[in-house]
């Protein structure tokens, strides 16, 4: 699957808008996207992902003890034009780097900010990071100072209102007596796709930088170390869930993912201001209008529990 299709894939259970009255052939000439972007959900997914990563970066940088920069392609790609977003991934594919998995953000101690900014400027700016091999001298300088890499996930939920939030774990038969929750429990989780587990682990091993997964909800966020996630899977505490995903062009695929109860992670942050959900639309050359929800503004703080985790990682870095 092309990187553009992969990154905008949406779980079918979250797809709410479909234009079933439009014939498939009419969309084959859709001017905005040659992959026939056929539903508002994919545009909303793009906006939601950009919003959540910006909130994390803002929360870290505003605290002042650490600072974060975008690193993976989804974080450095254009955030205000979906056509430019697609062309960005076309360029990434042409450079032969489209299938490389990199974490979304890198976090550094604030004292290294000038050094990192200078190295990024030498490469041509943040947007050029995904197009640069990691053995480049400037990239090596950047990676040498990173204390942790962040893989970002997000969900269209208010975690505090989910029915099983604050429910205590109990021994579960399906887990061989290990602690857990009922299979249909609805609560905040940190999600890792099976297809990402090995690439993320490989990146972590190669670069010797720990990866944490940070999952943002509308009102709260949680973090989980990749090492801890791997342990929970290997020891049978968390079992895979299979879900069907649909890409913008319409193709569907089944993917396994792991939903780690927030109990296993650490509180990352709380919303100080929720985002505005703004109605936007795009229009193709034939006059078809595609409305979607755009995420704007909103602020998140970073919890002391997360700062303690970052300080431990900083000390381990030496």
Q: What's the mean pLDDT in 30-58?
A: 68
Average of per-residue pLDDT values in the chain: 84
Q: Is residue 50 part of a domain?
A: yes
In a domain, 203, yes or no: yes
Number of neighbours of residue 195 by Cβ within 10 angstroms? 13
With respect to residue 182, please indicate whether it lies within any of the assigned structural domains: no
Per the rule left: phi > 0, alpha: psi between -120 and 50, beta: everything else, 75 is alpha
Q: What is the largest CA-CA distance in the chain?
A: 60
pLDDT in tens, 273-318: 888 888 887 765 567 677 777 788 888 999 999 999 999 999 998 7
3-state helix, strand, coil split of the chain in percent (to 5) is 40, 25, 35
- Within a domain: 169: no
What is the separation of C-alpha 187 from the centre of its chain, rounded to a whole number of angstroms? 19
Q: Identify whether 178 is part of a domain.
A: no
Q: Per the structure, how many domains does the chain have?
A: 1
In a domain, 127, yes or no: yes
- Model confidence pLDDT, tens digit, residues 112-171: 999 999 999 999 999 889 888 889 999 999 999 999 999 999 888 999 999 999 999 999
Rounded Cα distance, 79 and 76, in Å: 8
Within a domain: 33? yes
Q: 80 CB contacts (<8 Å, ≥6 apart)?
A: none
Place of tokens 């040498």: 144
In this prediction, residue 21 carries a pLDDT of 40
pLDDT of residue 26: 40
Domain interval for residue 81: 3-159+187-317
Q: What is the pLDDT of residues 211-269, one digit of tens each?
A: 999 999 999 999 999 999 999 999 999 999 998 877 666 677 888 999 999 999 999 99
Residue 179 within a domain: no
Q: How much is the pLDDT for 79?
A: 63
Q: Are 200 and 101 in contact (CB under 8 A)?
A: yes
Q: Give the pLDDT of residue 97.
A: 65
């Amino acid at each position: 699957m092309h990187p553009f299709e992969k990154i905008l894939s949406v779980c079918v259970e979250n797809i709410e808008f479909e234009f079933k009255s439009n014939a498939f052939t009419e969309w084959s000439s859709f001017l905005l996207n040659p992959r026939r972007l056929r539903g508002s959900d994919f545009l909303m997914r793009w906006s939601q992902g950009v919003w959540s990563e910006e909130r994390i970066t803002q929360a870290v940088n505003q605290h002042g003890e650490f600072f974060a920069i975008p690193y993976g392609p989804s974080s450095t790609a254009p955030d205000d034009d979906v056509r430019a977003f697609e062309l960005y991934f076309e360029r990434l594919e042409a450079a032969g780097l489209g299938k490389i998995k990199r974490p979304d953000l890198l976090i550094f101690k604030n004292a290294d900010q000038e050094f990192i900014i200078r190295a990024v400027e030498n490469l041509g700016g943040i947007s050029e990071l995904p197009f640069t091999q990691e053995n480049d001298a400037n990239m090596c300088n950047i990676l040498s100072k990173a204390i942790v890499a962040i893989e970002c996930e997000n969900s269209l939920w208010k975690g505090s209102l989910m029915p099983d939030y604050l429910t205590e774990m109990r021994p579960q038969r399906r887990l061989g007596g290990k602690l857990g929750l009922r299979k249909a429990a609805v609560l905040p989780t940190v999600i890792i796709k099976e297809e990402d587990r090995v690439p993320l682990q490989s990146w972590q091993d190669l670069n010797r930088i720990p990866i944490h997964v940070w999952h943002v909800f509308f009102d709260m966020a949680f973090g989980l170390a990749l090492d801890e996630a791997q342990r929970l899977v290997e020891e049978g505490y968390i079992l895979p869930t299979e879900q069907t995903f649909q890409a913008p062009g319409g193709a569907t695929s089944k993917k396994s993912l792991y939903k780690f109860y927030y109990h296993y992670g650490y509180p990352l942050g709380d919303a100080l201001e929720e985002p505005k959900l703004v109605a936007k639309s795009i229009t193709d050359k034939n006059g078809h209008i595609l409305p979607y929800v755009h995420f704007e503004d909103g602020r998140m703080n970073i919890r002391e529990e997360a700062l303690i985790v970052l300080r431990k990682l900083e000390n381990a870095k030496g």
